[in-house]
Amino acid sequence: MKQIIKPQTLLPGDTIAVVAPASNVKRESLEAGVAELKRRGFNAKYREDIFALERYTAGSVRRRVDELHGYFADPEVKAIIAARGGFGSIQLLEHLDWDVIASNPKIFCGYSDISTLSIALYQKCSLVTFHGPMVAKDFATENYDWRSFMKALTRPIPVGQYEPGNVEVLCEGRARGRLLGGCLPMVTSLIGTDWELDTDNCILFLEDTAAKPYQIERNLQQLRLAGKLDKVRGIIFGEMTDCIQHPRQGYRLQEMLKDVTSDLGIPVLFGLRSGHSDKNMTIPLGVEASLDCQRGLLAVEESAVI
């Protein structure tokens, strides 16, 4: 079994670095998010060149790579949180020094396009990462779940159960495995690369937003045909916000998801509020978790930090 690396616990007063490895950032949104982090008792810092713009990304590949390298190597920084997603993380993969990162394991948090980096950090550095709020998006608008953020990042004990909310059981059963995944198109975009996610024996978390059902199925079929679902022990879908063809499409997204996954013979749950969701919950990726589709519960069975 892969030996994972857990980052150090985040404590009140610790410094969080904000990075922009993907799309460009608006100053007012970033500053609002930084103010919220400070209100919550943390220090926060960012480089002034985080506001750079090159086509549709936050500056050049070199700028974004240097930003990540610098903050992973910075002993003052205890956590690194992305400003936003969008596009651009995949441009960085072949330029990152994985030895620098592995030698300085830290909390790394984000979702959407940032799932590309989270998967790569797990595959190349065995690092536990966090699918959760971003600074210029969720912290800026207070669209995050504070309780799960603190449970996952600030306590070196098992994270425990996540509140089920309005989850829906698509396929019944129970499973246990390493919780992995992220934003669905980012997972599929890495198939066939050196950073492809190893999904064997995992509980696979997948979410997206504003994608049409047939686009979601296309990604799921790609995962299936590539063998990435063959040894998965369970699947949890996010809320999949705004994932409709049109208001009168005549079917529910959940029906398609059930059809695509029912022959796998594993438990499947729909509706976890993490990522593109209201009150975005923080979930650790890379740690042991259990899925109970009788009760609609996800529980993380070990600590995500040390």
C-beta of residue 272 within 8 angstroms of C-beta of residue 207:
yes
Q: Is 112 a catalytic residue?
A: yes
Please name the residue that has the structure tokens 């030698």. Answer: 103
Q: Given the residues 23, 189, 276, 303, select the one marked as catalytic.
A: 276
Catalytic pick from 207, 274, 277, 303?
A: 207
207 is catalytic: yes
Which CA distances in Å does 114 have to 64, 79, 121, 265, 273?
A: 13, 15, 11, 30, 17
Strand blocks (E) in the chain: 15-19, 43-45, 77-82, 107-110, 129-131, 160-162, 168-171, 174-183, 202-207, 234-238, 268-272, 283-285, 288-292, 297-300
Q: Give the active site residue among 23, 112, 277, 303.
A: 112
Active-site residues, by number, are 112, 207, 276
